[in-house]
Amino acid sequence: MSLDANDLILFARVVEAGSFAKAAERTALPKSTLSRRITALEATLGERLLMRSTRRLMITEFGERMLDHARRLLEETDAASAMALHRQGTPRGVLRVSMPPDFVELDLTPVLLQFAADYPEVRLELDLSPRRVDLLAERFDLAVRAASRLPDDGTLVARKLCEKPNGLYASPAYLQRYGVPNEPDDLPGHVGLRLIGGNGEPIPWRLSRGPDSWEGLPDGPLAANSPGLQRDLAAHGMGIVALDDRFAAKWVEQGLLKRVLPDWNLPAVTLWCVTPGRRLIPARTSAFIELLRKALGTE
């Protein structure tokens, strides 16, 4: 004997409603489908569960005994549905997030404090590393990545957070000592702090101003994959550095850095939230993404 648990649940629904017509309304199934499913269940069990008439529905003695089992199944199903809905509505559980180490300097402390206050049932685990983690193999819920574009990957979904405008910066002391470049062609005579890309090679500076463009990379004593380190060294007069405008803002306000060639811009870099799979993401992940959007002013 092979019972379909769904048919037992439908049996409980019919008894609960008191008629096939009312049960059809509650389950959004045609009355004929309900009747056919109950008849098939009775055939499988070998006994009648319900006595039908044009005016009333009566449950048999055997039906009463089976109803206890059917109701337990119904209660468990309803409880599971309620739990799923509650979890969707109330973020909870472990949230594992990977971010570049320098990203946390973009005023993320208020975001983390707000997230902890708003969602006390979520345990946030942050991995701050320049490496590109494997979300699926390492069981991360979310990765924040900075790139002009991301490679196609059918196992991941990328959601755009914001565009990061970039420019060149140097300390006032450096500019006083070596002079202020007036055009990109002046840059080869300066010291450049070079950012290493994902391929292990320094990223060239690609400047544009309207239809004009310039590409190059001044020589310098340092190449690193940390914008934060380069920013700090530039603030101490070591050379000119390419930085995200938001990342440099505080140092500019404090007079530690100054924009170089302000009419020329580097290509904007996009911040992405990357999640595994194309399924519905958990409420805790959605809540964290929304807080990031607010913090970055993208809402």
Pure H helices in 203-271 = 227-235, 245-253
Q: Is the pLDDT of residue 215 over 70?
A: yes
253, with CB counted inside 10 A (0-12, 13-18, 19+), is: exposed
Q: Is the pLDDT of residue 130 over 90?
A: no
| Residue 37: pLDDT band with limits 50, 70, 90 | very high
| Residue 62: pLDDT band with limits 50, 70, 90 | very high
Map residue 241 onto helix, strand or coil.
strand
Ranked by mean pLDDT, which of 16-20, 28-32, 70-74, 184-188 comes out on top? 184-188
How far apart (Å, rounded) are the C-alpha atoms in residues 156 and 179? 47
pLDDT, tens digit, 9 for 90 and up, residues 160-172: 888 888 999 999 9
| Residue 83: pLDDT band with limits 50, 70, 90 | low
Domains (range + CATH), the chain: 5-87 (1.10.10.10), 164-269 (3.40.190.290)
Q: Taking Cα atoms as reference points, which of 101, 105, 104 lies closest to residue 249?
A: 105
- Angle formed by the axes of helices 61-89 and 283-295, nearest 10°: 20
Instruction: Check residue 251 and give its pLDDT.
Output: 92
pLDDT, tens digit, 9 for 90 and up, residues 233-261: 999 999 999 998 888 988 999 999 999 99
Do the bridges between strand 93-99 and strand 240-244 make them parallel or antiparallel, or are there none, so unpaired? unpaired
Instruction: Check residue 205 and give its pLDDT.
Output: 93
Verdict on whether the full-model pTM lies above 0.95? no
Ranked by mean pLDDT, which of 225-229, 250-254, 281-285 comes out on top? 250-254
